[in-house]
Structure 1
Amino acid sequence: METQARHTLIRSRAQANGKVLATDLSQEFGVAVQTIRRDLRQLCAAGVLERVHGGAVMPSGVSNIGYGDRRASHRDIKIKIARRTAQLIPDNASLFLNIGTTTEAVAHALHAHRNLMVVTNNLKVANILAANPTCDVVVAGGSLRRSDGGLVGDLAALAIDRFKVDFAVIGASAIDLSGDLLDFDPEEVRVSQQVIKAARATILVADSTKFTRKAPVKIASLAQVDHFVTDRVPSEELINRCADWGTKIGLV
């Protein structure tokens, strides 16, 4: 079967079922799993599909993919981004970590840091950092989002308003090619916006797949970010804009 024909059928299966698995497609089409994985990479790079653990889903501009799939997606890149981010944060610093699987990876990467004070609206981040005996953890109250352990809403935003931290480490569900940072939940976005206001410096952690995604709610602009840690920036124009804005790009 020709590559283009496989791509058409893969997209058709994803539209019909919401998700496709590489092993199932391999058996159906009679080709190696590695061939299907290459097909999925190409379709995801084109923005046709969105990669998840074991396969791919149809991209959505109004709802996020599940937490488990987000956590497994591009795990190695997230670990590299997290390690690079941890190098930007010294001991004896205060910081905020918001909701997201990449910020959870940053929490793991801070395990050897000493005397941190971390404010978070992410219960998973709080549990990760609880293993560091020299780290003080403050959990911002709010409405619990059971799907990922996030705390959102007015109470979380009000709690954050009481702080002025050295660093805000934030994620985003999507990044527009104009440099806008986007997410799905307005309640979460309000908290992220408050976090940026409450920080002396903002670090965005996001892998390059976020440039192929869409989301309906604007958090901020890369112009408001001091450091952007990622694996790839898709256009020279955006790199030049970041230089004009003073946003430092750290590639892993």
Structure 2
Amino acid sequence: MSSTFRHSEILEIARREGKVTVEGLAQRFGVTVQTIRRDLSDLADAGRLERVHGGAVLPSGVANIGYEERRALNAGAKEAIGAACAAEIPESASVFLAIGTTTESVARHLLRHRDLMVVTNNLNAANILLANPDCEIAVAGGTLRRADGGLVGPLASRAVAEFKVDIAVIGCSALDADGDILDFDIAEVEVSRTVLRQSRRRVLVADASKFHRSAPARIGSLADLDAIYTDGPLPAGLSRRCAGWQTELRVVAAGRAPA
């Protein structure tokens, strides 16, 4: 069976069942798991699927994939991005950490920072930072989103508006070729917009898979930010626009310092 035929069949199964697994596809097609992993990587590189632990899911423009699956997606890149971002956050700073698996990575790399104040609507990030005794944590109230431990809605926005922080670190679900920063939940987007207004320095942490996705709600533009930390080149032309906007581009890779 040709790889082209397998690819179309894999996409059809993903559309029908929502997710495909490496083991399940290997049994179905009678090929090795290594062959299926190559197929899924090819489809992910083409933007047709998104890799998750043990398989892949369809990229969605209207609904995000599950939080645990997002944690496993591009985990190495997220750790490198988190380390690079945290390395440029000075001690004795006030920081806002938004919802997201990459902002959780930033939190892990802040555990040795001293004299920090972190404001967050991300309960996962707050729980991570409990291990840092030199970090004061302020949790923004709001409606708890059980799927990912995020606090969203008008209460969260009003709580965030009470602060003026040195640095805001936000994530996103998608980043389009115009430089628009996109997400799925308008209640979360409103909080992120408030955060950007209440911060002296604004940075985005987003792995390169976000360049191949779509989402319906607009947070803002890269033109509104001071820097973006990512693990791959931006789409053609967007790097030049960032230079014109004076938005710093920090491209990192696992085991390397930011460029």
Same fold (TM over 0.5): yes
Q: Give the Cα separation in 2 of the matches to 1:144 and 1:233.
A: 35
Aligned twin of 1:6: 6
Q: CA 1:236–1:59 in 2, change beyond 3 Å: closer, same or farther? A: closer
Aligned twin of 2:99: 99
| Structure 1 runs of 4+ with >3 Å offset | none
Q: Give the Cα separation in 2 of the matches to 1:103 and 1:82.
A: 7
Aligned twin of 1:214: 214
Q: Per-residue displacement from partner, 1:48-75 (whole Å, max 9, x unpaired)?
A: 1122111111121111101110111111
Aligned twin of 2:115: 115
Aligned twin of 1:188: 188
Aligned twin of 1:232: 232
Aligned twin of 1:147: 147
Aligned twin of 2:255: none
Q: TM-score, normalised by structure 1?
A: 0.98
Where structure 2 has 5 or more consecutive residues not aligned to the other structure, the ranges are 253-259
Q: Sequence identity of aligned pairs in percent?
A: 56
Q: Give the Cα separation in 2 of the matches to 1:46 and 1:236.
A: 16
1:15-164 to structure 2, matched below 5 A, reads: 15-164=15-164
| One-letter amino acid matched to 1:229 | Y
| Post-superposition offset of 1:20 | 0.2
| One-letter amino acid matched to 1:93 | A
Q: Give the Cα separation in 2 of the matches to 1:234 and 1:128.
A: 30
Where structure 1 has 5 or more consecutive residues not aligned to the other structure, the ranges are none
Q: TM-score, normalised by structure 2?
A: 0.95
| One-letter amino acid matched to 1:89 | I
Equivalences, count: 252
| Post-superposition offset of 1:45 | 1.8
SS in 2 for 1:166: strand
| Post-superposition offset of 1:233 | 2.4
| Aligned-residue CA RMSD (Å) | 0.9
Q: Give the Cα separation in 2 of the matches to 1:180 and 1:127.
A: 30
| Post-superposition offset of 1:143 | 0.4
